[in-house]
Amino acid sequence: MTLYALDAIDDAATATRELLWPFDLGRWLRLVVVVFFLGGAAGNSGLAPFQFSGSAPSGFESAPTPSGSPEMALPGGTELAVIGAIVGVIALLVLGFLLVGSVMEFVFVESLSTDEIHVRRYFRRHAGKGLRLFAFRFVLGLGTLAVLGGATLVLFGDVFAGLLSGEFVAPSASRLVVGALVLVPLGLAVGIVVALANGFTTEFVVPIMIREDRGVLAGWRRFWTTLVGQWKQYGTYVLVAFGLHIVTEIAGSIVIGIAAVALAIPFLIVAVPVVFGIVGGGTITAGAIVLLAALLALYLLVLFVAAAVIYVPIKVFHRQFALLVLGDTNADFDVLGDRRPSLSA
């Protein structure tokens, strides 16, 4: 039996090369915009090259506070209001980003299928489908939170109730063991199911929605017969795609880690004096909070744009790979058509 996922690797690489080379600045810039809203390298470890812990390095003791030095003042009502406003704005921006990203999934697939990249035209064309995809993802996320959060509350509800009332009820060692034995396998099972549902929706249902003008659930009903009938092919796809993601994420993480350090330098030049000013003055002001938050947001924005540039060929390759497998398992779902390297060669 021919395994389509294995055969599609070379074709996906060829299709990616044909789409991106010879280099065309306008094409790359439009793809950077699309990939940026698809998350750039989101979900890859490369966006978090450094991990910080709250403990001091071994062999060092915390330096005692010099007598007479000013104590750090806790944020007051104005500062708390500023922090709350910043959190609210960030939440709205994240939701807006995810909504635009859902529409961009359709822009991305149509760009790959037609070899013509038109962001605004395709965005207007598929805004409705993108909204339905966003709603599907939102409900999927809420369901995941409800299952895992509900299980956690059932096991440790009294602990959370005590924390809300200002008391800490330490769970026994046996309860912690039982909780781990329940929550860890449950988290893994739910995580795998949700990852497959979201991944298959993005990679296989979205092309069907475009090709046959369907909604998310109708697209899933259309895809389900092929998925069940060709489960060996899609099982192989999951394994091969997982391995390919590991390889590309390692490579992308290394490059983004280097970029993150280089891009952080100008922001640190501005941020470090502000932090030292807060520590030396002993007062956290609303202006300092806004400035540091703005610097962090701007740095993350620049880093995401850099990640999008780095991940353009990676994202194109993985999506071409999925589209090739989808078309091989069911010709009715083939959105690449004569753009397939094996046909055009």
pLDDT digits (tens, 9 = 90+) for 299-325: 998 998 888 889 999 999 999 999 999
Please report whether residue 296 resides in a domain: yes
For residue 223, the model assigns a pLDDT of 98
Query: Is residue 20 predicted with pLDDT exceeding 90?
Result: yes
For 283, the domain range is: 4-42+75-340
For residue 287, the model assigns a pLDDT of 79
For residue 49, the model assigns a pLDDT of 29
Query: Is residue 76 predicted with pLDDT exceeding 60?
Result: no
- Cβ within 8 Å of residue 106, ≥6 positions away: 122, 125, 126, 129, 130, 133, 206, 209, 210
The token duo for 289 is 């909070």
For residue 290, the model assigns a pLDDT of 84
Confidence band, pLDDT 50/70/90 cuts, at residue 61: very low
Confidence band, pLDDT 50/70/90 cuts, at residue 53: very low
Please report whether residue 102 resides in a domain: yes
Query: Is residue 31 predicted with pLDDT exceeding 70?
Result: yes
Give the number of other Cβ atoms within 10 Å of residue 225's Cβ.
Answer: 10
Integer Cα distance of 203 and 89 in angstroms: 31
Confidence band, pLDDT 50/70/90 cuts, at residue 77: low
Question: Which of residues 246 and 172 earns the better pLDDT score?
Answer: 246
Q: For tokens 């030049």, name the residue.
A: 269
The token duo for 321 is 């790979």
The amino acid present at 25, given as its one-letter code, is L
Instruction: Collect contacts of 89-94 with beta carbons under 8 A, ≥24 apart.
Output: 90/297
Give the number of other Cβ atoms within 10 Å of residue 259's Cβ.
Answer: 18
Phi-psi region of 84 (alpha: psi -120 to 50; beta: other; left: phi over 0): alpha
Number of domains in the chain: 1
Integer Cα distance of 136 and 218 in angstroms: 12
Please report whether residue 56 resides in a domain: no
Mean pLDDT across 193-211? 97
Please report whether residue 58 resides in a domain: no
For residue 60, the model assigns a pLDDT of 37
Query: Is residue 164 predicted with pLDDT exceeding 80?
Result: no
For residue 342, the model assigns a pLDDT of 59
Please report whether residue 55 resides in a domain: no
Please report whether residue 69 resides in a domain: no
Query: Is residue 41 predicted with pLDDT exceeding 60?
Result: no
Confidence band, pLDDT 50/70/90 cuts, at residue 332: very high
Can you give the three-state secondary structure of the chain, one letter per residue?
CCCHHHHHHHHHHHHHHHHHCCCCHHHHHHHHHHHHHCCCCCCCHHHCCCCCCCCCCCCCCCCCCCCCCCCCCCCCHHHHHHHHHHHHHHHHHHHHHHHHHHHHHHHHHHHHHHCCCCHHHHHHHCHHHHHHHHHHHHHHHHHHHHHHHHHHHHHHHHHHHHHHCCCCCCCCHHHHHHHHHHHHHHHHHHHHHHHHHHHHHHHHHHHHHHHHCCCHHHHHHHHHHHHHHCHHHHHHHHHHHHHHHHHHHHHHHHHHHHHHHHHHHHHHHHHHHHHHHHHHHCCCCHHHHHHHHHHHHHHHHHHHHHHHHHHHHHHHHHHHHHHHHHHHHCHHHCCCHHHCHHHHC
Please report whether residue 57 resides in a domain: no
Integer Cα distance of 105 and 85 in angstroms: 30
Please report whether residue 61 resides in a domain: no
Integer Cα distance of 335 and 110 in angstroms: 8
Task: Give the rounded distance of the alpha carbon of 335 from its chain centre.
Answer: 25
